[in-house]
Amino acid sequence: MKSYLEAINEGIRLEMRRDERVCVLGEDVGVYGGGAGATRGLIEEFTERRVMDMPISETAFTGAAVGAAMLGMRPIVEIMFSDFLTLAADPLINHAAKMPFMSAGQTSVPLVVMTPMGSGTGAAAQHSQSPEMMFMNTPGIKIVTPSNPYNAKGLMISAIRDEGPVIYLEHKGLYNMKGEVPEGEYTLPIGKASVIRPGEDITIITYSAMAKECLAAARELSEIRISAEVIDLMSLKPLDEETLIESVKKTGRVLIVHEAPALGGFGGYIAGVIAQRAFKYLKAPIKCLGGENIPIAYNAVIERMQIPGKEKIIKTAEEILNEEV
């Protein structure tokens, strides 16, 4: 058994041992071991030559990592909070994402940007966002969202080995989550979702920390004889549309759940894909359940109310089951 945080660390460590081109850059990633401890112990094994503490300038050190990737290194950049991706947006969006296309495939940018997302820790409005949609509209960037220790390690290794820029959105609320993690190297395909609970009556599509909430909701729904199929996307870009469509064909009902605000959230895109490809199979309207369209509060009670939880998911699923097209 390993924690989610330990699994991330182990994935990085194994790849650094396997490939000397892998290096880590970020604020406090060295002696301090990273903002949450994801890089703990790496500097002792790999020295400051490969685990580099950077000045407080996300734009600068992300830009440096993009250049290093273009010249043959395989850098991992840690952004201390995902909110600070706004500061790294220029080198990521205007350079890392576009160089393979602009060079007609002659230049690759094998770069991983790992950063903690999400609420639930009392970190307030500037340290609790779910920023995935900031990069969804940028061709050339992949986005992965591990939801448990097993896929945290497997997706980290896959991201490091990928030839393009990958944004690795870990959820800070999952750091202490324990789970079975195989020893040694293994990879999970980027772009493949997982059916984490099979069902017949409704498809619940989710990712990151909401997978835990959706599983809890599905277990309670089963007690009232509602069979919910839960799909953990794991990868937002590329999106595994086939797994979603096959599930919708079976159940005919869809609930999409994510922590980010519902307005402009990823749920709207998924709903569009399903409407285009599986409309004739729908037995009820698609529903998207996301966070409230306000900044995340510091107050713990308000913070919990702002994002979907088990009870909201159960209630919304029941509403869908009571509707018909």
Is residue 127 among the annotated active site residues?
yes
- Tokens standing for 179? 């789970």
* Annotated catalytic residue within 95, 127, 171, 258: 127
Q: Which two tokens stand for residue 96?
A: 């890392």
State the residue for tokens 């079976």.
250
Contact 278, 248 (CB under 8 A): yes
d(CA 72, CA 92): 17
Give DSSP secondary structure letters for 255-303: EEEEEEESTT-HHHHHHHHHHHHHGGG-SS--EEEEE-SSPPPSSHHHH
Which residues, in sequence order, are bridge partners of residue 289? 257
The CA-atom distances, in angstroms, between 23 and each of 43, 69, 215, 243, 279 are 10, 10, 36, 34, 46
Give the residue numbers marked as catalytic: 127
